[in-house]
Amino acid sequence: MVRRLFFRRLSLLVAVGMLASSLSGCVLATVRTINEDEEAKLGFVGADYVDEIWDSQLMPTYNEQAQDLPTLLPLIAQDQGAAIEQFGSRSGTGAYSFMVKGEGKILTFDTSSRAGLAAIDLNPPDGTADVSITIGPLIKISQRAAVRDAVGFIVYNDFSNQEDFAGVANAMGDRILAMLVDKFGAADADSIQDIDPASMEGKTVKFTGAFTLDDPANIIIVPVALEVTD
């Protein structure tokens, strides 16, 4: 009797061990909806991310926190460290970027390069250019990154890899370029180079945007909002 009970217990222990062994090889599956599964297959899409945050987070942040250039530029010239500490933001160890706003006259509208620039004499005008605004049709990746990095809440560690993080900057640049095409009345991005500079020079421009402080003597602003009037 004792012997029979012993073998029954032994058999039970063996069965439990086999069951535990089989379960240890199982992988828990994540249950997704059909739409979520399709999104997972597509991977990260920078344009979708930017569309989601542009009006709800990014533009409100720029509108609330952009610094007046006539105030910020003298501070940078006097104490760059203080300006960075108060208003700068960056991702990683690169140059700091700033959210800014301003208004002034277009002195030159240079479309000789695809990386076109408008030189701006900020109010109150003195006849000399204070900053430049990128006008396209080429917006460099470093300029696109300024818009992303200046806002402060978009950080590299929130993304899976460098490619996704760069994709956010690229998508922002594409959105900005579409805005510039509309504001300048161009048919498309390439047509910006066909604009007669004389038709733009002397006009008033009001803008909100970002720049990276890699050369204080040559500040180039990428606008997230722009208005041009006579």
Write out pLDDT tens, residues 86-134.
999 998 888 999 999 999 999 999 999 999 999 999 999 999 999 999 9
C-alpha to C-alpha distance for 88 and 82, rounded to whole angstroms: 9
> According to the model, what pLDDT value does residue 42 have?
65
The residue among 123, 118, 155 whose CA lies nearest residue 133 is 118
pTM of the model: 0.81
The residue among 153, 133, 123 whose CA lies nearest residue 53 is 153
> According to the model, what pLDDT value does residue 8 have?
52
CB 18 within 8 A of CB 114: no
Domains of the chain: 45-229 (2.40.50.420)
> According to the model, what pLDDT value does residue 93 have?
81
> According to the model, what pLDDT value does residue 189 have?
97
Paired strand residues for 220? 132
Paired strand residues for 97? 89, 212
CB 179 within 8 A of CB 226: yes
> According to the model, what pLDDT value does residue 14 have?
46
Q: Which residues of the chain have pLDDT under 70?
A: 1-42
> According to the model, what pLDDT value does residue 139 have?
97
**Amino acid, single-letter form, for residue 112:** S
